[in-house]
Amino acid sequence: MSEIKNNPGCFPVGLKLPEMFSRYFTGQAYLQPLTDKGGPISNVTFEPGCRNNWHIHHGEGGGQILLVTGGRGWYQAWGEEPKELHAGDVVVIPPEVKHWHGAAKDTWFSHLAVEVSCENGGSEWCEPVTDDAYSQLP
């Protein structure tokens, strides 16, 4: 387990993302699986400035739910303005919506990622969020 002195959430931080996922992140994130029953749920913790690439969850009836547990972060759906996130925020991401999420520049950020199970589901990883676009966030 990683020991983060200022863990922003209430769940364990977990381990650094494995290579199969970390290549889709700018910066360091950590993963702590919590359950695989009823659909996988994991705690994801982002160091300041860390964010994932644009990505899409495929599959009818699928998608993802983010339950913010600590820190300050961002969520953005393709073609929409970024939304600032704080503990207690819930983001419901329908299938087929291109989006990204991650920490603010100056704070750790933690959320539970709930994968909505469905047949023929899966994630498609796309391009990184550019440094230029990210640097324009407050």
> Quick one: DSSP state of residue 39?
S
Split at pLDDT 50, 70, 90, the class of 131 is very high
pLDDT tens for 33-53 read 999 887 789 999 999 999 999
Name the pTM for this structure: 0.92
pLDDT tens for 110-130 read 999 998 878 778 899 999 999
pLDDT tens for 72-105 read 999 999 999 999 999 999 999 999 999 999 999 9
DSSP character string of 12-75: ---EEPPHHHHTTEES-EEEEEEE-TTS-EEEEEE-TT-EEPPEEEESTT-EEEEEEEEEEEEE
Q: Helix (H, G, I), strand (E, B), or coil: what is residue 9?
A: coil
Question: Of 58, 130, 59, 60, nearest to 100 (Cα)?
Answer: 130
Structure tokens at 7: 């863990």
Q: Helix (H, G, I), strand (E, B), or coil: what is residue 70?
A: strand
CATH superfamily of 15-135: Jelly Rolls (2.60.120.10)
